[in-house]
Amino acid sequence: MELVRATEAAAIRAVPFIGRGDKLAADGAAVDAMRKFLGTVEFDGVVVIGEGEKDKAPMLFNGEHVGNGRGPSCDIAVDPIDGTSLTAAGRQNALSMIAVADRGSMLDASTVYYMNKIVAGAEGIGVIDIRKPIGENIRALAAAKGKPVEEITVAVLDRPRHAQLIDDIRAAGAGTRMLLDGDVAGGINAARYGTRIDMCAGIGGSPEGVVTACAIKALGGFIQTMLHPIDDDQRQRGLDAGLKFDHVYEADELVTSDNTYFVATGVTDGGLVAGVRRMGPVIRTESIVLRSRSGTIRRVIADHLAEKWLD
């Protein structure tokens, strides 16, 4: 619940900036709120996936210590707003999120900005392989799920780099769900039971891949990734950092701990959680909490007295 309070605070503080066209202002307000609330949490956290270096404050930066310094030692991945452009434009699926795991267990892929990913539910385990053509993976997943290929839906970030991937998905007979931003929610929905997304595929941010793995381990789902450097310099920096290329990173390499938490609160409405709503004297938030050790998914709907949030 302490982690939920931090994502709730970030989401609420971002609300005045929804649809205002200023993504930096929205992110700054969310960062300030999240940092304040994380400072009260009973743990010794180090941000291993954040927004960059300290001199770029107010972002929560890589290497920053959060929490009150007591309690368990943890790795922290934070994104006060996953989807700042979505927030600024007033579009759906913006989230505030935190992932937590035991200290030293999260892969630090910060030197390589992108990775290719494929995510599905438990049916994908031992069935899907990121090295195989997407059509082959779609047919294999459809057989494992006992449904026609025509009913398979693959979530993909709407980017020019995915033009061929999208064509291949449709050529296989499956449908696409185009994501404007935020492939973390797309990956989680691919792994959750009862959603309309069966698979999430394509190239997205490396930090988001590690965050998604924290959630997937709680859902019992499937994730594979491969680092995708954009040039030789980035590849060399990755090699210098001990990262492996032409290598498939499974969930247990992305996050070695079996004790992971993933917490997200909706900023705007989306398929994972509802966005923040003002309802008379209260502000309502919806959050999702995933924990790998217990294999639980909890939804937290909270009403906050609006007067407590007035500046």
Q: How many domains does the chain have?
A: 2
Cite the annotated binding site by residue number: 27, 51, 79, 82-84, 114, 159-161, 181-183, 205, 208
Kindly state whether residues 268 and 163 are assigned to the same domain: no
Per-residue pLDDT of the chain (311 residues; tens, 9 = 90+): 889 999 999 999 999 999 999 988 998 999 899 988 988 888 999 998 876 544 444 567 788 888 888 889 999 988 888 888 899 999 988 999 999 999 999 998 888 889 999 999 999 999 999 999 999 999 999 999 999 999 999 999 999 999 999 999 999 999 999 998 878 999 999 999 889 999 999 999 888 899 999 999 999 999 999 999 999 999 999 999 999 999 999 999 999 999 999 999 999 998 899 999 999 999 999 999 999 989 889 999 999 999 888 76
Kindly state whether residues 145 and 270 are assigned to the same domain: no
Looking at the DSSP bridge assignments, the partners of residue 234 are none
Residue 73 is predicted with a pLDDT of 93
Determine, yes or no, domain membership for 267. yes
Kindly state whether residues 223 and 118 are assigned to the same domain: yes
Residue 57 is predicted with a pLDDT of 43
Side-chain half-sphere of 154: how many Cα atoms within 13 Å? 29
Determine, yes or no, domain membership for 108. no
CATH number of the domain residue 190 falls in? 3.40.190.90
Kindly state whether residues 89 and 127 are assigned to the same domain: no
Residue 71 is predicted with a pLDDT of 86
Q: Which residues contact 185 (CB under 8 A, 6 or more apart)?
A: 82, 93, 95, 179, 264, 270, 271, 272
The domain in which residue 296 lies consists of 2-103+260-308
Kindly state whether residues 123 and 250 are assigned to the same domain: yes
| 139, 241 Cβ separation under 8 angstroms | no
Residue 54 is predicted with a pLDDT of 40
Cite the annotated binding site for substrate by residue number: 82-84, 114, 159-161, 181-183, 205
Residue 221 is predicted with a pLDDT of 95
Kindly state whether residues 233 and 155 are assigned to the same domain: yes
Residue 56 is predicted with a pLDDT of 47
Kindly state whether residues 183 and 197 are assigned to the same domain: yes
Kindly state whether residues 131 and 98 are assigned to the same domain: no
Kindly state whether residues 143 and 235 are assigned to the same domain: yes
CATH number of the domain residue 285 falls in? 3.30.540.10
Determine, yes or no, domain membership for 109. no
Determine, yes or no, domain membership for 276. yes
Residue 159 is predicted with a pLDDT of 94
Cite the annotated binding site for Mn(2+) by residue number: 27, 51, 79, 82, 208
Kindly state whether residues 8 and 97 are assigned to the same domain: yes
CB atoms within 10 A of CB 285: 26
